[in-house]
A and B are shown apart, each in its own frame.
Chain A
Amino acid sequence: MASAKGKALTIDGLTVDFGGFKAVDGFSMIVGDGELRVLLGANGAGKTTLMDLISGKTRSTDGSVHLYDLNITNQEEYRIARAGVGRKFQIPSIFRELTVEQNLIVAGTREPSVFRNLTFGINREGRRRLEDVVELTRLGDVLDRPAGELSHGETQWLELGMLVSQGARVILLDEPTAGMTQVETQKTAELINRMKGDHTILVVEHDMAFVREIASTITVMHLGKLLAEGSMAEIESNQAVRDAYLGSGGIH
Chain B
Amino acid sequence: MHAFVADRRRLEFLAYALFIAGVLAMPLFIDAFWLNRIAKYLVYGMLGLAIALSWGYAGILNLGQGLFFGFGAYMAAMSLKLQSYTSLQQGSDKPIPDFMLWNAEPNAPTDLCCINEGSFLWLPFQAQWFGMAMAILAPTLIAYLVGSAIFRLRISGVYVAIITLALVLLTRLLIIDAQPVTNGFNGLTDLGWLTIGGFEFDPYMTQTYYLVAAGMVVVLLATRLLVATRAGLILQSTRDDPNRARYLGYNVAAYQVFFFTVSAAIAGFAGMLYVIAAEFASPTFMDLTFSISMVVWAAVGGRASLLGACIGAILINTIEASVSESEMLQEGWKLIIGFLFVLVVLFMPRGLAGLVNDMLDRIEAMLKPGAARPPATTKTAAATAAEKPGE
Binding site for B on A (CB under 8 A): 55, 76-79, 81-82, 86-87, 89, 93-99, 102-103, 105-107, 109, 111-115, 117-122, 144-146, 149, 162, 166
Which residues from A are CB-within-8-Å of B240? Answer: 94-98
B254 at the interface (CB under 8 A from A): yes
Which residues from B are CB-within-8-Å of A122? Answer: 230
Binding site for A on B (CB under 8 A): 226, 228-231, 233-234, 236-237, 239-241, 243-252, 254-255, 258, 374, 376-377, 379, 381, 384-387
Q: Please tell me if the beta carbons of B384 and A146 are within 8 angstroms of each other in the complex.
A: yes
- Please, could you name 27 A-B residue pairs with CB atoms under 8 Å apart, sorted by A? A78-B247, A78-B250, A81-B246, A86-B248, A93-B241, A93-B244, A95-B236, A95-B237, A95-B240, A97-B385, A99-B384, A102-B237, A102-B381, A106-B245, A106-B248, A109-B230, A109-B234, A112-B250, A112-B251, A113-B254, A114-B255, A114-B258, A118-B226, A118-B229, A145-B377, A149-B377, A166-B249
Chain B, Cβ-Cβ closest to A122:
B230
Q: Please tell me if the beta carbons of A119 and B230 are within 8 angstroms of each other in the complex.
A: yes
Q: Please tell me if the beta carbons of B233 and A98 are within 8 angstroms of each other in the complex.
A: yes
Q: Please tell me if the beta carbons of B236 and A98 are within 8 angstroms of each other in the complex.
A: yes
CA distance A79 to B254 in the complex (A): 13
Q: Please tell me if the beta carbons of A117 and B234 are within 8 angstroms of each other in the complex.
A: yes
How close is B272's CB to chain A, nearest CB, in angstroms?
Answer: 24
Name A97's contact: one of B230, B251, B387 (CB within 8 Å). B387
A97-B236, A97-B385, A120-B228 known; A107-B243 Cβ under 8 A: no
CA distance A78 to B251 in the complex (A): 6
Which residues from B are CB-within-8-Å of A93? Answer: 241, 243-244
Which residues from A are CB-within-8-Å of B254? Answer: 113-114
Q: Please tell me if the beta carbons of B241 and A120 are within 8 angstroms of each other in the complex.
A: no
Which residues from A are CB-within-8-Å of B236? Answer: 95, 97-98
| Of B246, B381, B387, most A-chain CB atoms within 10 Å | B246
Chain A, Cβ-Cβ closest to B239:
A97
4 closest A-B pairs by beta carbon, nearest first, are A117-B231, A81-B249, A82-B249, A95-B240
Chain A, Cβ-Cβ closest to B225:
A120
Chain B, Cβ-Cβ closest to A144:
B377
CA distance A29 to B381 in the complex (A): 44
Chain B, Cβ-Cβ closest to A55:
B247
Which residues from B are CB-within-8-Å of A117? Answer: 229-231, 234
CA distance A162 to B245 in the complex (A): 11
CA distance A166 to B234 in the complex (A): 13
